[in-house]
Amino acid sequence: MSFLRFISAGSLALAASAAHADATYHPLANGGFSQDWSNTGLITTDNIWTGVPSIEGYRGDGLTGSAGTDPRTIVAFGATPLDVKANVTNATAFMSGGLIEAESGDDVGTNPTIAFQGSGTADAPFLLLRLNTTGCTNIQVGYLLRDIDTGETIGTSQQVVVQGRLGESANLTEIPGTYVAAANNNGTTTGAFTLAMAYENQAQVQLRWLTTNAPNTDAMIGIDDITVIGTCTGGVDNPPTVLSTTPANNATGVAPDANILVQFSEAVTTDTNWFALTCAQSGPVLVAETGVGSTRTLNPVGTLTLGEVCTAGIIAAQVIDIDGTPQAMVNDYSFQFTVRADTVPTVTNTSPGSNATNVSLSSNISVSFSEPVTVSGNWYSVNCATSGAHPATVSGGPTTYVIDPTTNFVNVELCTVVLTGSLILDQDGTPNPVGSDYTFSFTTIGTSLDYYQGVDTSSPAALRTFLHNLIDDHTAYRYSIGTNTCDEQSPTTQACDVWDIVELTEQDPTESNKVLDVYRNRKYVKITDRSGNTGPTTYNREHTWPNSLGFGDLGGVDVNGNPFSPYTDAHMLYASASDHNSDRGNKPYDDCAGCTSVNATDLNHGRGGPSFPNLFRLPDGNQGSYEVWVGRKGDVARAILYMDVRYAGGTHANGQVEPDLIATNNRAQIVGTGNGVIAAMAYMGILDTIIAWHFADLPDMGEVNRNDIVFRFQGNRNPFIDHPEYVACIFQNTCVAGEDLFANGFE
């Protein structure tokens, strides 16, 4: 598309959207601009901006083709639809890209905002402001970026920049000093700039706040408290007004030591006693004033009383503008807010979580409260069914305490923790105890010593049936949840995902902050080097049994909120160099004599290097082949054989349909299944090669440790790591009758 046609497409998009947006340019000479989103009635319907003066949001489709693009490099307006999701009450749970009206919920409390994040569709969403600066100079813009997302992946960088242009056809350029490399900082970022002279005295000025699709999980960022003022002549010499206050009118949950901010429409002088603050319990409150021009900050002297309602009043006659003929405000202005109540403290989180399973025998116990608390006496007890009472040492506080038992738990026992509410008091206002005693329980990890007790090795069918019933119905974890708060010693499905498991199973043996991937044998920094894209400097998760062969693209959850077991099964998922993973595709594993396509390996820990490549032959599918380098052939082979036995059709205990997965020598059987489909039967190969790789590269201690880690999470084991001889029985009909074989020393 030529540049001229590209501009025309953008103009057509603007014209088409006019019916759903307010495309007027705010006349700055008639008064400053302010938008704090406190009026949630401005947006009531998805994608409709008509109620918002001079502002609209766009989804940003097609403005970039890759994740992690620097928004400063995106200069086109683009042909992109208007976008906003109205009335969102949980910003963190909003998984799509684009703009939302974050109206309420834990993410924003009582302070609504417009927010945005990128996605594969919403490549570069943006918020657009239109200004008419005719007659105005010294134009000052202020705003607040708010990280309202608690679910993004650690290491995510949600970039934001402000850009501007004159008119409606030029490219946009960066406003110097506005680029923020990571607006997801668990707080707020104050933005302020003075527009360059080129933007002064112009009929059409457009400013846009722009973000892009992040490489990892995107973070929802609010664009709040937008203000624009200037020194203006001509137009109407309006008297000053209050544009916004913080806290906003009727705000609740205000901190007792919070400052008060007043933003006027223009620069003003304030005379003595222009501001008064009176609270229900504290009475008249003295404040210390700072600020000049259009902004004033009031700092209450002393701390306000918890739970009280305060009223702030601004005396109109005492606030006078300084442009043209000095004018006072026309009307007095008042607003109210409520100080955070003196609430009863509560338990907000425990680790292990309630009803957690596979908890480490050496696990500590952490307890988090809703506010700082003081603990005393025997405020906790830990009692287990087999090992009895556990005295412990306590550290941390005042919000999170860590209980460290002086002796370890024992295998497969139920432990109960009781917190005595009367001995746990908050530290603000009147000391309040936790409302009632709090009790939670967890079960410790089992052991592999008796895992195979009663095994029947009399025939291939008998052993297959025994092992399938043993490893079936495991606990599945979500593929991605966007957070990194997993307690690896006592994992829960709420706090942990497949990333957490893979980064433990593939952890580098000498550098615990790195993973060592399966195909390239390269070290990558955990979390930081994650990627959904291809490239030699990033890693992702490899389905050794390709998901397109039986359970295509089922990385989400079913209608009951359960992850799809085969897609998320960590026994066959490995950290992989992103580019090597792409080259492997869904090719069967097979020896590749004469293959000239090479995936190199790195030399690490005395293994790998130029003489030990992966080999492959195109195309993807059953006509291609991928030969894994010699150091990891057995690992992937045992993963495939595990899948063959674990998935035999039927349904999971949670009611989820499962595929029958079969390792085969017949390439014609290895055919793809559609996305979102659980196949009745699906195949992967090449079986004889996989068996040969298994016996040529038997499990080492690294793979045994991997099996233990997955067992801790999923509650099932890969039997071919514990008992390599089971492969000969099931797949080669070479069985030794008896209860157990113990051929490799495993029990």
Alpha carbon separation from 398 to 75, 158, 368, 401, 474 (Å, rounded): 49, 31, 9, 7, 38
Instruction: Give the residue among 692, 691, 672 at the shortest CA–CA distance from 682.
Output: 672
| Strand residue runs (E) in 455-596 | 514-516, 523-525, 539-543, 573-577
Cβ burial 708-717 (10 Å sphere, 16+ → b, else e) = bbbbbbbebb
* Secondary structure (DSSP) of 585-598: TTPPB---TT--EE
pLDDT at 29: 87
Beta strand pairing call for 160-166 and 173-174: antiparallel
pLDDT at 740: 44
Look at residue 357 and give its three-state secondary structure: strand
pLDDT at 483: 79
Nearby residues of 469 by Cβ (< 8 Å), 6 or more positions away: none
pLDDT at 706: 95
Token pair for 76: 């086109």
CB-CB contact of 661 with 721 (8 Å): no
Helices (H), 472-622: 498-505, 565-568, 578-584
pLDDT tens track for 239-289: 899 988 888 888 888 888 889 989 888 889 999 899 999 999 999 999 999
pLDDT at 151: 60
Give the C-alpha separation, 436 to 425, whole Å: 12
Domains of the chain: 3-232 (2.60.120.260), 242-339 (2.60.40.1220), 347-446 (2.60.40.1220), 478-633+668-680+705-715 (no CATH)
> Which residues in the chain show pLDDT less than 70?
1-21, 150-156, 216, 235, 447-450, 532-536, 737-747
Give the C-alpha separation, 230 to 224, whole Å: 19
Residue 683 dihedral angles phi and psi, to the nearest 5°: -125, 155
Give the C-alpha separation, 526 to 517, whole Å: 11
pLDDT at 356: 87
pLDDT tens track for 380-392: 999 999 889 999 9
Give the C-alpha separation, 75 to 57, whole Å: 16
pLDDT at 17: 41
Alpha carbon separation from 313 to 101, 280, 335, 336, 591 (Å, rounded): 29, 14, 7, 9, 81
pTM listed for this prediction: 0.49
CB-CB contact of 691 with 709 (8 Å): no
